Amino acid sequence: MKNSCTSIKWAFALLVLIAACTALEAQTYKALYNWPEVCNDTGIVPPEVLSQGQDGNFYSTNSCDGKSNGSVYKMTVAGHPSTIWSFDNTAGAPQGGVSLGLDGNFYGTTVGGSGDDGSVFKVTPTGAFKTLCDFTMTSCGAGADGVAPFFSVFPYQGKDGTFYGVASSGGTQGQGTLFKITSGGKLAAIYSFCSQSGCADGANPNLPLQYVDGNFYGTTHNGGGNGNGIVYKITPAGKLTILYTISSQPNEGSPVGVLVEGADGNFWGVTNGVPFISNGIVFKISPSGVFTTVHTFGTGTQNDGAVPQSGLILGSDGNLYGTTNNGGAANNGAIYRVTPAGHVTILYSFCTSSNNCDGYLPATPLTQHTNGQFYGNTDGNSDGGGVFYRVNMKLKPLVDLVNWTDPVGKTVDILGQGFTGATSVSFNGVAAKFDNVSDTFMTATVPSGALTGYVTVKTFTATYKSNRVFLVTPQLTNFTKSGIVGSIVTLTGVSLTQTTAVTIGGKAATFKVVSDTEVKATVPDLAKTGGNIVVTTLGGSASIGPFAIPPFVGTFSPTKGPVGTEVKITGTTFTHASKVTFGGVPATSFEVTNDSQVDAIVPKGAKTGHIEVTTPGGTGTSKGIFTVTQ
């Protein structure tokens, strides 16, 4: 009996603990500001992305604020908004939010405007506004052919400093473009969608991400062979590769939002399902196109989410976070977490109480602030407006790298907190010079010997780790200009310590890292002359060239004979041989059998001497002598 009572006590304690944990989890959500009802809705048109500024506040857009055609606003983490710019009819209506540039200003897009086709704009944190480009054929320069940019298509600054974005319609086929625009306002389309038969290459693109290889990876909402969109790769030169065509199965639906690179190296995204049929999925896809359905919404517990309208974000804990527009305990939307292993957990269900509705329809993307907490907006609340909210997952404060790949000597912009007390900045342990501009913004110079890895900022009271790895871009400054197969090539440059591969003439080469400024590599078999030498490190790739590979003449058989004798010559790099000589006299008949063999006939007038083979890479001379007999 005593044991039974003890068991009951433990069971009761467990129930109390479960209830406490459930209540604790519910307390991670807090509504910070109730947007008023304006224009018969909240003025929040998803997905309005929140971007953290250098001052630690969020910046985004409202499509309607009751006074104008929309606004760019600032929102404190405590939930206090203020308008910094109001749009009129000539500037259009902003949709999609804004992105932070390296100059500290914000960049966004509108629909409408003076040309009625949308525009790209810049606005400072203090409200100085400039239209960079109207989406018409006359105001942006040659090649401007996108119109009506909306649905999370604010431009973002790429690795090369140029801004990139998408237009959901327009282009040569009217189904959208990927475009780039300079800070001076010159726009050019990189790719126009629906240019293949049946729109196999997709239509109505979502904003892509720029990967470490410099290419753009993204999705389209429509088009593809099944009409549900595609996952694609586009090079900066505009070459598109279809990685995956979304299935015609109803549970998949169409992709929404921006792909995000997960901790596992795959790209993660979501689809929105098909109304009244399915609820969407979470998927991952490798850079090579291996597609996996990770989770199907609405098939788990009864409180599972449904119909996401925005993509995932990568949290500082390595998990992915997102929202669904429907589903959850009250079918008013939910916040969910996805582990790298693909396990989905509903963290919060919206508007479970009719007496105190704390927001519903959370269609806008989550954003993680450098204080470690997540923030977002809903499209509705009990007053007919919306809610700006916070989700506290008890994650540590961090630093956010505005630019996350650069060579030694470049300046990196860093967002965070407590920077007035900064004592050191390091790149994967290598100390860097820094300037703590304000308590929430600092710059650091990529130091000599910097290693690809996390950036760490230390203050008197805390240590902050970057939200992502900083990639130290390698540089090549000099190299051995030519060498035969098997010879050693010396490469000099910067940031070579973490070299993982070397290719010469398109072939993988064995190599040895001598120091951060020197690598030695061996010219491999079958390497082609005239190509570049490429060094790949953990931080990226660098190339230098051209590298010449002259042929090597090894042995020949027979070693003597009269005019007309067929001679088999062996060696390396004989492909594209243009001349064979015997004692300086060109053979009038020869054939390249393969890269290591040439067959030639001793020509009339040939003299006893060396055999030479000439290719685009140079001329190779035999060590031995061919003797011409009578």
Give me the percent of the chain exceeding a pLDDT of 90.
59
Q: What is the pLDDT of residue 142?
A: 43
DSSP 297-348: TTSSSTT-EE---S--EE-TTS-EEEEESEESTTSS-EEEEE-TT--EEEEE
DSSP 129-157: EEEEEESSTTTS-TT--EE---SS---EE
Q: From residue 138, give the alpha-carbon distance in Å to each of 88, 113, 118, 122, 374.
A: 21, 14, 13, 19, 42
For residues 521 and 564, state if they share a domain: no
Look at residue 601 and tell me if it is in a domain.
Answer: yes
For residues 518 and 462, state if they share a domain: no
Q: How far apart are CA 561 and CA 567, in angstroms?
A: 9
- Collapsing DSSP states into helix, strand and coil, what is residue 7? helix
For residues 464 and 487, state if they share a domain: no
For residues 83 and 150, state if they share a domain: yes
Run of H or E including 11 = helix 2-26
Examine the fold and report which residue of 507, 526, 544 is the final residue of a domain before the chain moves on. 544
Query: Tokens standing for 210?
Result: 């720029």
| Residue range 254-287, pLDDT digits in tens | 999 899 999 888 999 999 876 667 789 999 999 9
Instruction: Tell me the residue range of the domain where 447 lies.
Output: 400-472
The DSSP call for residue 465 is E
Q: Look up residue 196 and give its amino acid.
A: Q
Between residues 31 and 363, which one has the greater pLDDT? 31
Query: Tokens standing for 373?
Result: 């907490």
Run of H or E including 509 = strand 507-509
For residues 524 and 455, state if they share a domain: no
Look at residue 419 and tell me if it is in a domain.
Answer: yes
Residue 521: Cβ within 10 Å count: 25
Look at residue 498 and tell me if it is in a domain.
Answer: yes
Q: How far apart are CA 61 and CA 334, in angstroms?
A: 23
Q: How many alpha carbons fall within 13 Å on the CB side of residue 452?
A: 21
For residues 604 and 489, state if they share a domain: no
For residues 461 and 609, state if they share a domain: no
Contact 320, 350 (CB under 8 A): no
Return the closest-CA partner of residue 252 out of 295, 286, 281: 281
For residues 122 and 42, state if they share a domain: yes
Mean pLDDT (the chain) is 86
Examine the fold and report which residue of 192, 217, 233 is the final residue of a domain before the chain moves on. 192
Look at residue 224 and tell me if it is in a domain.
Answer: no
Q: Look up residue 156 and give its amino acid.
A: Y
For residues 586 and 604, state if they share a domain: yes
Predicted confidence band of residue 630 (pLDDT cuts 50, 70, 90): confident
The count of domains in the chain is 4
Q: How many alpha carbons fall within 13 Å on the CB side of residue 422?
A: 29
List the CATH number of the domain containing 117: 2.120.10.30
Is the pLDDT confidence value at 186 over 90? no
Predicted confidence band of residue 427 (pLDDT cuts 50, 70, 90): very high
List the CATH number of the domain containing 459: 2.60.40.10
Q: How far apart are CA 303 and CA 269, in angstroms?
A: 21
Look at residue 383 and tell me if it is in a domain.
Answer: no
Examine the fold and report which residue of 139, 166, 192 is the final residue of a domain before the chain moves on. 192
β-pairing verdict for 627-628 and 560-561: parallel
DSSP 543-593: EE---B---EEEEEESSEE-TT-EEEEEEE--TT--EEEETTEEPS-EEEE
| Residues forming beta bridges with residue 614, ordered by sequence position | 579, 619
Is the pLDDT confidence value at 152 over 50? no
pTM, entire model: 0.85
Look at residue 346 and tell me if it is in a domain.
Answer: no
For residues 465 and 607, state if they share a domain: no
| Residue range 342-395, pLDDT digits in tens | 999 999 999 887 666 888 888 788 999 999 999 999 887 766 678 899 999 999
Q: What is the pLDDT of residue 4?
A: 38
For residues 440 and 587, state if they share a domain: no
Q: How far apart are CA 321 and CA 299, in angstroms?
A: 19
β-pairing verdict for 146-147 and 169-170: antiparallel
| Residue range 480-522, pLDDT digits in tens | 999 999 999 999 999 999 999 999 999 999 999 999 999 999 9
Predicted confidence band of residue 139 (pLDDT cuts 50, 70, 90): low
Look at residue 371 and tell me if it is in a domain.
Answer: no
Look at residue 571 and tell me if it is in a domain.
Answer: yes
Q: What is the pLDDT of residue 553?
A: 97
For residues 516 and 422, state if they share a domain: no
Q: What is the pLDDT of residue 70?
A: 84
Q: How far apart are CA 90 and CA 257, in angstroms?
A: 28
Is the pLDDT confidence value at 16 over 60? no
